Amino acid sequence: MSTVTDPTATVTSQELSVLRLLADGLSVDAVGRRLNLSERTVRRRTKAVCDRLGMRTAVQAIVWAAHRGLL
């Protein structure tokens, strides 16, 4: 994992919304329904934040955000 110095400048509010719902245990499909997004958009947002943070999985991104009090 790479180190990110300013998480608020790195992760958008939309991406955090997706991570929050995934952290709550919702499926990608359920997250999409809740946020009125397509499943593809949910997956793209998850991948975008993972790529930006240098992480491979949504779980890693969720842990990263949780440790920083973003969720």
Whether 2 is in a domain gets the answer no
Question: Could you report the per-residue pLDDT of 6-35, keeping only the tens digit for each?
Answer: 655 678 999 999 999 999 999 999 999 999
Whether 48 is in a domain gets the answer yes
What is the span of the domain harbouring residue 39?
Answer: 7-67
Whether 49 is in a domain gets the answer yes
Closest-CA residue to 2 (of 55, 61, 63, 62): 55
CATH number assigned to the domain comprising residue 17:
1.10.10.10
Q: Count of alpha carbons within 13 Å of 6, Cβ hemisphere only?
A: 4
Residue 6 has what pLDDT? 62
For residue 44, how far is the Cα from the chain centroid? 10
Pairwise CA distance, residues 51 & 30, whole Å: 23
Q: pLDDT-derived band of residue 36, with 50, 70 and 90 as boundaries?
A: very high
| One-letter identity of residue 62 | I
